[in-house]
Amino acid sequence: MFSYLFSPMKLRGLELKNRIIMPAMGTKFPKDNEVTEQLIQYHVDRAKGGSGLNMVEVTGVHQPSVPGIYPSLGEDRFIPGMKRLTDAIHEAGGKAGVQLWQGSIAVAAHQGIQVIVASDLELAPGYVVKGADKALIDELTTCYGKAAHRAVEAGYDCVEVHMAHNYILHSFLSPAINKRTDEYGGTFENRARFPLAVIESIRKNIPDDMPLFMRIDAQDDYLENGMTIEDVIAFCKLAKEAGVDVLDISRGNIISAGIKFEVPPIDLPRAFNIENAARIRRETGMVTMGVGRINDPELADRLLQEDKLDLVGIGRAQLADPEFCNKSKEGRLDDIVRCVGCNQGCYDACESHVIPHITCLRNPALGKENEYRISKTKKPKTVLIAGGGMAGMEAADVLYARGHHPVLCEASDRLGGQFLLAGEAPRKLEMKLAAMSKGEQITRRGVDVRLNAPVTPALIEELKPDVVINAIGALPIIPPIPGINLPHVKNSHEILGGKASVEGNVVVIGGGLVGLETAEYLSDKGCKVTVVEMLEGLGTDLGTTRKVCVMENLYMEGVTQMPNCKCLEITGDGVVVDNGGEKQTIPCDYVVAAVGVHSADFSAEEALCKEKGIPVYTIGDAEKPRRAIDATADAARIAREI
C-alpha cells in the first residue's frame, strides 16, 4: 500500500527503504549532553516501527554553547554514547542521521552557556551580546567539521546542517537578523560566506558516499527585510555546489509570531509548507524533503505521487504512534493513533523549565518506552470505568491489552467526552475525529463499552467490580455573578455541544482557552463577540504556538478583547463590568459563561466502594481540572498499576 511512500531511494551511498524521514525533534532526553537509554529506546521504537531514517535532534558542535539537555558532538568523549545510539537504530532495522547545530539565542535561557550571535544584540536592558568576531567564526567553522568527523566515527549514515529557526547559521544568512558591516554582513554574498564555509567544512570531514542534508526555512516569516523564497533558492544553489545533497524545507523563527510555523499546531492546515518546498525543489533541481503537519499516509503518498517532494518528514505522527509507518504500509489505517497537533507534550514541554522531557497526549508511553511496555497481568480483574472520555478510553485500552476485563460505562450516547467539544471549535476537527477513532479502536479490540450507562451505586452493586476508575470528568463552573441564571445566559459546553444557540451581540465571560475558542466559534457563526477576562492577559493557559494562532484569529475576526475586566452583574440587556476601576455596561443579546470547570460529583459511588472494600482510582478532570495530556497520562499510569 502507498507505493510512492514506501518505495526505496538511494542518496549517494545511503539506501533508504522508504521515503519517510523522522525529522530531528528536541526531546530533553539527553543528560549532560550524553546519550541516555531513554533516547536510545525512543529511537529504537520508531526504527522498529518502520521509519526510513531517524534524524537525531539538534546536536551541538561547539561545547561551550551547548545546554545539557541537548546531545553533543562537540568533543570526542561523546562518540561512544552516539555509537550506542546508532548501533541500536541499525539493529532495529533503521538508518541514523544527526543534525549539527549551534543554537545562537535559543540557548540564552540556560545559565552558564555561551550565547553567540551574528551581530550585536541587546538580550536585556543594558545586556548586549557582541556579534561573533572573525576568530570565533573560524572556530565555529572548524567545530562543525570536527563534529561531522565524529558523527562518521559514531556510525551515522548521514548528517544534516541546521540552517533555520534563528540558529547561528540562519542568523548570519538573514538580513533581518544580521546587521554586520564587515565581510560577513550586508550583501547576500557576504551573509552567505560563513554558512557556505560551514557546509564545505562538513563536506570535507565526511566520506564522499555520505549524503549531506540541510534544513533551511522556506522564507523569513514576520521578519522585516528577511529572507525571501527567492533568496533561499539562490542560497540553496550555492549550497548544492558546496556539497549539500538534500534540502529539508522548514519554516518559522523564534523571535516573532512565525514560531507557529516551526512546530505547527492544529490551527495550521496539513502540508501548509509543501508548495514552498515544491517550488524550491523545482528551481534548484535538488532532492527535497517537505515537512509541516504531514500526519496522514494518504496525504504523504499523494505529495510524492504529484512529484512535489522526494522525501517526507513525518515527525509528531511518529511520536503519537511509533508504529505509524508499519501500520500505514500494511493498510491498518484505522489502527493509527493520530497526532492532533495539540503541541502540549512536545513543543510546550521543550519550552517549559518544569516539564522534564517531551511526552504525548495521544501516547503517554513516549519517553517511557521500556517502562511502559505492556505486560500481561497474572490476576485478571473486572475494572469498572466511569466515563468514556479520553482518560477513560486510554485506561480501558491499556487494561484490556494487559488481560484485565474493563467495563467502560459512558453516561451519554457517544465516547469522547470533552475532546468532542474541543473538536467543535474552529480548526480543531482533528480532535473530534481522534476521539471518535479511539472509541472505534477500543470497541473493535473487544472492550466492553456501554453507552447511555451512567455509573451509579446500583450498577456497582450489580457488576461487583474488583476495581473502579472514576473518569467522569468535569462540569462547567457557574460563577456567582448576579443575573447568571437569566434565560439568555448560557455556558460554553452548551454552545460547543450544540445544546444552545445564541445570536447578535454576545459577551463571553472568561478569556482562557475554552472562552477564546467559544468566542471564535460564535464569531464564525456571525455573532459580534466581546471577551471579558479578569486577568491581565487572555489565553494564559494556551501554549505558545496555539496562542499565536488563536489570538491572530480573534484579531482578524474583530472579537473585542477586554482583559483586566471583572464581571459584576448580568442584566437583561447587558453585562456590568469593572474595567480597570471604571464601571461600565456592555450591551448584549446573550452571555456565555466560560470560566472553567469543576470535578463532577462521584461521592455516593466512592462511599459505596469504600464500604465494600473496592479500590477507587480517580483520573483526569475527575480528580482535578487540568489539560487533556494530564488526563491520558493519569490513565496510562493507573492502568499499568492495577
Show which residues are catalytic: 167
Handedness of CA 540, 167, 42, 39 (dihedral sign): negative
Residue closest to 473 by CA, chosen among 352, 367, 618, 355:
618
Contact 608, 340 (CB under 8 A): no
Bridge-based pairing state of the strands 582-587 and 96-101: unpaired
Pairing mode, if any, of strands 14-16 and 9-11?
antiparallel
Measure Cα distances from 615 to 400, 605, 608, 618, 621 in Å: 18, 11, 11, 10, 19
Beta strands in 397-548 (DSSP E): 405-409, 448-450, 467-470, 474-476, 489-491, 505-509, 528-532
Is residue 579 exposed (0-12), middle (13-18) or buried (19+ Cβ within 10 Å)? middle
CB 455 within 8 Å of CB 618: no
Reference 141, options 195, 188, 99, 191; nearest CA is 195
d(CA 169, CA 192): 9
Residues sharing a CB contact under 8 Å with residue 555, sequence separation 6 or more, in sequence order = none
Contact status, residue 283 vs residue 312, Cβ threshold 8 Å: no
Going by C-beta distance under 8 Å and a sequence separation of 6 or more, which residues neighbour residue 241? none
Sheet holding 505-509, edge to edge: 489-491, 590-593, 505-509, 528-532, 560-562
Q: Which of 103, 289, 156, 141 is nearest to 213 (CA)?
A: 289
Please tell me what DSSP assigns to residue 312.
Answer: E
Residue 21, beta-bridge partner list: 53, 313
Do the beta carbons of residue 530 and residue 588 sit within 8 Å?
Answer: yes
Are 349 and 28 within 8 A, CB to CB? yes
Those residues with Cβ within 8 angstroms of residue 484's Cβ, 6 or more apart along the chain or in another chain: 478, 570, 593
Instruction: State how far the Cα of 355 lies from the Cα of 365, in Å rounded to an integer.
Output: 15
List the grid coordinates of 252: 518559522
As a 3-state breakdown, the chain gives helix, strand, coil percent values, each rounded to 5, of 35, 20, 45
d(CA 169, CA 283): 22
Of 412, 401, 403, nearest to 442 by C-alpha is: 401
- If phi > 0 it is left, if psi is from -120 to 50 it is alpha, else beta; for residue 588 that is beta
